[in-house]
Structure 1
Amino acid sequence: MCAQFSPEEDAMFEKIGAAVLKRLKKTRNPGDLLSVLASAHKEFDRAYASAPAAALATVACRAGCGTCCHVPVGVLAHEVLIAAQYVQKHFSPEELEALIARAAAHREAVTGRSNFERTLLKRPCVLLREQSCSIYEARPEACRSHHSNNVDACRTNLENGREDLDVYIPGVRGRMFAVMLAIDQAVAEAGFDGQAYDFGSALHEALTSSLCAVRWTQRQSAFPESCREASEPGDEDSGVMRAEGYFQ
């Protein structure tokens, strides 16, 4: 799949992607589709646990940091809907109302801005609570896939609005990206929405309109264009996952 994957990581991509696609195709009840993908997120834990011990020893990420929760997060529709389901199940009415207000403010702030401009805003994720994720069990795939070996470097990158300092851990990053791409490619191969969306904006839409989930199960675009991840000029298709015939 990826020239930068090791043979082991490439095998993970193929195995996980094929398994997820098979389960999606076998699922007849539309109401069970998101559960298939939420269950697939357990593959991130397995991939992390099986990473080289030396690589895991360098992971600096800890609860209460929250640095990476201040940058734009691009997601596919199923990730938003999984998060929305979790919120609706676990948040009180007062917490839900406050979240919708934060998401609306986020959406207004980022609309019409480039990805770089959004990065410079340093807006905290609308689900960040006391510098920790309030939906950790249902967090997006990108949040599961990025690990750092240096917290101070992360803070410097955030302050500068650029990833000038390399904080990634090769023995961990490739494995997590293999899982993320496998799930997302399987979603695209099954015909579901492959458009990348801004997480905060799409979450606002999902929490205020039940039609988003309906459209997704019908293999339509789940969210309006105003929720899309910002694309680079002249490269509007860069944030779209398309069916490529993998896992056949």
Structure 2
Amino acid sequence: MDKLEKAFYHDGFQLGMKASSPEMTDEKLFSALAEMYAAIDALTHSLHDFAIQQGQTIACKKGCEWCCHQPVFAMDYELSYLKNYIENKLDPEDQTQIKKRAAQKDEKLKPLKGDALLNAKHPCPLLNDGACMAYEARPMACRIYLSSNVESCLQFFKAPDDKNNYPALLDFPMRAGRILNEGFRAALKANNINVEEFRIEEKLV
């Protein structure tokens, strides 16, 4: 792990300790997660601005939803944050529709394993008219999935089993976000808090 990665891990660990030491409450957890998400969002915004200055582009924008049709995995504490947002920010009708779509997607993905699961293409239960209904509370995996070529995302959507097709993802934000989350998770485990990973729809049902 290089110095930069160690710094991200340290920051994530400190936020995880803030959330879970000496004991974890929803308020402490959600506050620490909001800080972590704000940090990775600031990083991706800076990369976006830098790319523009260099005459390059980040293809991701509202209305582009190719990545929102694949399985998304998140830690259970992230999904608690997401559920809290949904329950407090969205109206009851929207909540009912999200649960219905989550149950439908979960039923389709539950029997799948390995590549069959990873390459399955079904819309996220939070997707509505090309946008995320809980964008502010989306998990780390969604925040760091940034592509420089929308055509590569489209091809992966159309032919996920083709090993030559894969989105042109930016490596740095993906590594940074994962390492931040690793540090956060390690701090929770250090305080004897069990941590598991789930598909989004498994928790939304």
Q: TM-score, normalised by structure 2?
A: 0.84
Q: Aligned Cα RMSD in Å?
A: 2.4
For 1:76, give the aligned amino acid.
Answer: M
Aligned to 1:118: 117
Tell me how far apart the structure 2 counterparts of residues 73 and 29 of structure 1 sit (CA, whole Å): 25
Which of the residues 35, 40, 44 maps onto 1:44? Answer: 40
CA pair 156-187 structure 1, distance change in 2 beyond 3 A: farther
For 1:38, give the aligned amino acid.
Answer: A
CA pair 145-136 structure 1, distance change in 2 beyond 3 A: same
Secondary structure in 2 aligned to 1:197? strand
Aligned to 2:63: 64
Which of the residues 18, 21, 32 maps onto 2:16? Answer: 21
Matched, 1:83 2:78: no
For 2:18, give the aligned amino acid.
Answer: R
Higher relative contact order (CA 8 A, sep 6+): 2
Residue 27 of structure 1: how far off its partner (Å)? 5.5
Aligned to 1:242: none
Tell me how far apart the structure 1 counterparts of residues 150 and 71 of structure 2 sit (CA, whole Å): 18
Aligned to 1:244: none
For 2:174, give the aligned amino acid.
Answer: R
Aligned to 1:11: 7
Tell me how far apart the structure 1 counterparts of residues 167 and 89 of structure 2 sit (CA, whole Å): 36
Matched, 1:177 2:172: no
Aligned to 2:130: 131
Tell me how far apart the structure 2 counterparts of residues 190 and 29 of structure 1 sit (CA, whole Å): 9
8 Å contact kept, 1:77–1:193: no
Q: Which runs of 5+ in 2 are unaligned?
A: none
CA pair 171-54 structure 1, distance change in 2 beyond 3 A: farther
Segment of structure 1 superposing worse, 184-193 or 62-71: 184-193
How many residues are paired up?
199
Tell me how far apart the structure 2 counterparts of residues 151 and 59 of structure 1 sit (CA, whole Å): 9
Tell me how far apart the structure 2 counterparts of residues 47 and 179 of structure 1 sit (CA, whole Å): 12
Q: TM-score, normalised by structure 1?
A: 0.71
Residue 194 of structure 1: how far off its partner (Å)? 2.3
Residue 79 of structure 1: how far off its partner (Å)? 1.2
Aligned to 2:29: 34
Aligned to 2:204: 203
Deviations for 1:92-142, whole angstroms, at most 9, x for unmatched residues?
Answer: 121111111111111211112114223443110000011111101000110
Deviations for 1:7-55, whole angstroms, at most 9, x for unmatched residues?
Answer: 32332222x1232133124364623233222332212123224448248
CA pair 181-59 structure 1, distance change in 2 beyond 3 A: farther
CA pair 97-61 structure 1, distance change in 2 beyond 3 A: same
Q: Percent identity over the alignment?
A: 24
Deviations for 1:128-162, whole angstroms, at most 9, x for unmatched residues?
Answer: 01111110100011001111011110111122224
Q: Which runs of 5+ in 1 are unaligned?
A: 205-248
8 Å contact kept, 1:43–1:179: no
Segment of structure 1 superposing worse, 47-56 or 134-143: 47-56
